[in-house]
């Protein structure tokens, strides 16, 4: 066989390079160039600091720039950084740490900030307002219940929705009273030039319980409530709390329940008003049923019939019984009908009544209504207002 010459020109260049480098000893391959160590994220919540080794085999740290210790933390091969524990560093003052690598010994220093311990939070139990002092340049604060470990972030700007929602939540807590913890949150550090900020000292604030709601009773006969000048009621029309003037009639405080105004059932809100030293109380919710129509008067009425005989008024309440009481009141000629001052006579039977001209004189007006029932929780008796009134002008 003849010797065959190989034309090296025809061999691809890439293949030649591969062959050459395949036989170069590993010890002669140049390693990646190391640079000075650098600092990444500083998380004061988890108390860890990220340190990039930057191709140094070992990273050292010192607290006095004299005695050096190897950084011992979890190493992330993807980010090529250590997660160094900093929980041992005092929070009561600033602490400077020094770092260097084994290859590049350039020393980098950082200063861990101290915790803000001068923060102050005051709560005005009358106005329900908070005052924050010494919060540095914070834009937000965090709060949680003492029995909870989840922090809620709120903007310090009182015009924001988050702050308004915080105040509403605090108002709800005042039903039973509570204690909350407030702090300024951490600002995560991102490097030597932006070290961030530790979360502040935690401040415990007592959310004082409001006084018990007043006990409000509706008088089904006089159609008023036992309110006092120390109370106030909510007007849904104006969305305002209005001072009570003392004992108030339904016509003043809840006119829509009256038959002449629609006879609607409503829920009235009443509370003790705030004073200079005491906040307003919890709210009493009073459901008032609509007033029923007046009894019908007439010859063929199923409610009330009447006629005159021998200068006497013959009066009959056709549906009256011990469980369905009616009433009548007489206002003599020249007088005026006043609900609260009227002298009502109960009628518990459908038996015919005879009223003499002395009792019901000529020119008087006789008023009739169905008697109401005051609420009685003990006896499970619901509130029922006395009905609207109807009247008879007596003429013999």
What is the pLDDT at residue 19? 40
pLDDT band at 378 (very low <50, low <70, confident <90, very high): confident
What does pLDDT average to over the chain?
Answer: 91
pLDDT band at 1 (very low <50, low <70, confident <90, very high): very low
Q: What is the CATH number of domain 304-393?
A: 2.60.40
**CA distance to 5, 8, 295, per residue, from 1 (Å):** 13, 21, 138
pLDDT tens readout for residues 108-159:
999 999 999 999 999 999 999 999 999 988 999 999 999 998 999 999 999 9
Task: Answer yes or no: is pLDDT of 168 > 60.
Answer: yes
HSE of 119 in the Cβ direction (CA atoms, 13 Å)?
25
State the CB neighbour count (10 A cutoff) for residue 148: 11
Percent of the chain with pLDDT over 70: 92
Q: Is the pLDDT of residue 196 over 90?
A: yes
Predicted confidence at residue 341, as pLDDT, reads 86
357-384 average pLDDT score: 92
Tokens of 288: 């008032």
Distance separating alpha carbons of residues 24 and 212, to the nearest angstrom: 90
pLDDT for 8 equals 41
Smallest Cα–Cα separation from 62: which of 34, 47, 92, 84?
84
As its CATH architecture, domain 38-112 has Sandwich (2.60)
The pLDDT-based confidence of 377 (bands split at 50, 70, 90) is confident
Comparing 21-25, 127-131, 354-358, which segment has the lowest mean pLDDT?
21-25
Confidence at residue 27, expressed as pLDDT on a 0 to 100 scale: 36
Q: Where would I find the H helices in 36-160?
A: none
User: 165-170 contacts: CB < 8 A, separation 24 or more?
Assistant: 167/128, 167/129, 170/128, 170/207
Question: Using CA of residue 317, residue 321, residue 323, residue 325, what is the dihedral sign?
Answer: positive
290: helix, coil or strand?
Answer: coil
Work out the pLDDT band at 268, boundaries 50, 70, 90. very high
Q: What percent of the chain has pLDDT over 90?
A: 87
Q: In the β-sheet with 266-272, what is the strand arrangement from edge to edge? A: 240-243, 231-235, 266-272, 284-288
HSE at residue 254, side-chain half, CA atoms within 13 A, is: 29
């Amino acid at each position: 066989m003849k010797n065959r010459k190989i034309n090296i020109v025809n061999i691809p260049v890439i293949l030649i390079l591969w062959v050459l480098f395949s036989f170069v000893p590993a010890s002669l391959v140049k390693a990646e160039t190391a640079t000075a160590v650098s600092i990444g994220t500083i998380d004061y919540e988890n108390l860890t600091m990220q340190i990039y080794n930057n191709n140094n085999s070992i990273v050292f740290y010192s607290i006095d720039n004299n005695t050096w210790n190897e950084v011992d933390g979890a190493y992330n091969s993807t980010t090529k950084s250590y997660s160094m524990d900093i929980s041992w560093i005092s929070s009561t003052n600033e602490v400077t740490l020094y770092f260097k690598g084994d290859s590049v010994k350039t020393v980098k220093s950082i200063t861990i900030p101290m915790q803000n311990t001068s923060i102050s939070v005051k709560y005005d139990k009358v106005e329900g307002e908070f005052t924050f002092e010494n919060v540095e340049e914070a834009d937000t604060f965090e709060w949680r219940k003492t029995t909870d470990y989840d922090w809620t972030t709120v903007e310090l700007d009182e015009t924001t929705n988050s702050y308004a929602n915080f105040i509403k939540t605090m108002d709800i807590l005042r039903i039973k009273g509570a204690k909350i913890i407030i702090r300024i949150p951490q600002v995560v550090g991102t490097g030597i030039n932006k070290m961030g900020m530790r979360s502040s000292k935690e401040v415990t604030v007592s959310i004082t319980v409001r006084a018990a709601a007043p006990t409000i009773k509706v008088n089904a006969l006089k159609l008023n409530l036992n309110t006092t000048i120390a109370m106030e009621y909510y007007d849904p029309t104006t969305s305002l709390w209005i001072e009570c003037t003392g004992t108030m009639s339904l016509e003043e405080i809840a006119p829509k329940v009256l038959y002449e105004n629609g006879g609607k059932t409503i829920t009235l809100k009443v509370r003790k008003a705030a004073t200079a030293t005491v906040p307003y109380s919890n709210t009493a919710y009073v459901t008032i049923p609509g007033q029923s129509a007046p009894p019908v008067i007439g010859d063929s009425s199923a409610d009330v019939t009447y006629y005159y005989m021998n200068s006497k008024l013959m009066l009959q309440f056709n549906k009256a019984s011990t469980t369905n009481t009616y009433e009548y009141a007489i206002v003599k000629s020249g007088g005026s009908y006043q609900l609260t001052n009227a002298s009502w006579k109960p009628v518990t039977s459908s038996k015919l009544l005879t009223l003499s001209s002395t009792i019901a004189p000529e020119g008087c007006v006789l008023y009739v209504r169905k008697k109401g029932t005051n609420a009685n929780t003990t006896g499970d008796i619901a509130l029922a207002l006395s009905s609207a009134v109807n009247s008879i002008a007596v003429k013999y």
